[in-house]
């Protein structure tokens, strides 16, 4: 993703990468790369994070200590890390999204509208597919879809991740989440609404990682100069 962001920045006017952070500092990039955010010497306006939960603390601490906006795109964060992010947003501008694709966020909006209209009459299942190198399952995007749907309906849905160990009928308040890992699948998400004698499906497929990089760079431009607070794709889309 770092390389994808670099490619998008090269094509985007008014945007420049001044430095990068990576455990591999081999000097192959056109900009300096440091092992830790605190080592960066260059000036920067916004931080884009597409790394790993293990790097989260250093990145969020850098954002707070320098009062710099941070666009957090890393998934698989723990509840403690999400709580730390919310606390950091009290003193620094923090943008967070489990998926930086504009298309995915449109899918989430449509899924919420469908869930409200179909509530109590349709079962909801979410299937996500990713490449065989992805660490977290289900994906942060699948959980974001489920969370958004949960906030849109009157019931309190129960997330079910695995059905093979329990032999019982599906509950009416369940949202099933299923993960597929294989090959080089960039990312696919299906939201299935299954009712009596009819099925409605919403689907988004990403053909390359560029779509996420484009969203991240747009978010970075949007966040420059913003006051402290928590921001999301809803804010970006609303002000685009």
Rounded Cα–Cα distance for residues 168 and 171 (Å)? 9
**Is 82 part of the annotated catalytic residue set?**
no
What is the number of H-type helices and E-type strands within the chain? 7, 11
What sign results for the dihedral spanned by CA atoms 43, 45, 50, 51? positive
90 is catalytic: no
Q: Residue 161 is encoded by which pair of tokens?
A: 């991740």
- Active-site residue identified among 129, 130, 178, 204: 130
> Which one is catalytic: 3, 30, 134, 234?
134
Neighbouring residues of 48: CB distance < 8 A, sequence distance ≥ 6: 5, 70, 71, 73, 216, 217, 219, 220
Positions annotated as catalytic residues are: 130, 134
């Amino acid at each position: 993703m770092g390389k994808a962001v670099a490619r998008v920045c090269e094509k985007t006017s008014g945007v420049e990468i001044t430095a990068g952070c990576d455990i591999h500092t081999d000097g192959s990039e056109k900009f300096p790369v440091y092992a830790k955010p605190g080592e960066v010497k260059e000036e920067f306006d916004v931080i884009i994070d597409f790394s790993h939960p293990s790097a989260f603390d250093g990145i969020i601490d850098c954002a707070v200590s320098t009062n710099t906006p941070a666009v957090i795109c890393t998934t698989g964060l723990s509840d403690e890390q999400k709580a730390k992010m919310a606390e950091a947003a009290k003193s620094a501008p923090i943008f967070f999204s489990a998926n930086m694709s504009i298309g995915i966020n449109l899918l989430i909006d449509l899924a919420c509208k469908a869930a409200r209209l179909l509530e109590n009459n349709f079962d909801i299942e979410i299937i996500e597919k990713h490449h065989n190198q992805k660490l977290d399952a289900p994906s942060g995007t699948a959980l974001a879809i489920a969370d958004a749907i949960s906030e849109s309906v009157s019931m309190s849905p129960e997330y079910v991740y695995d059905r093979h160990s329990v032999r019982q009928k599906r509950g009416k308040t369940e949202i099933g989440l299923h993960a597929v890992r294989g090959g080089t699948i960039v990312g696919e998400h299906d939201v299935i609404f299954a009712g009596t004698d009819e099925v409605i499906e919403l689907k988004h497929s990403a053909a390359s990682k560029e779509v996420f990089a484009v969203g991240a760079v747009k978010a970075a431009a949007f966040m420059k100069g913003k006051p402290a607070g928590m921001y999301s794709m809803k804010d970006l889309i609303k002000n685009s």
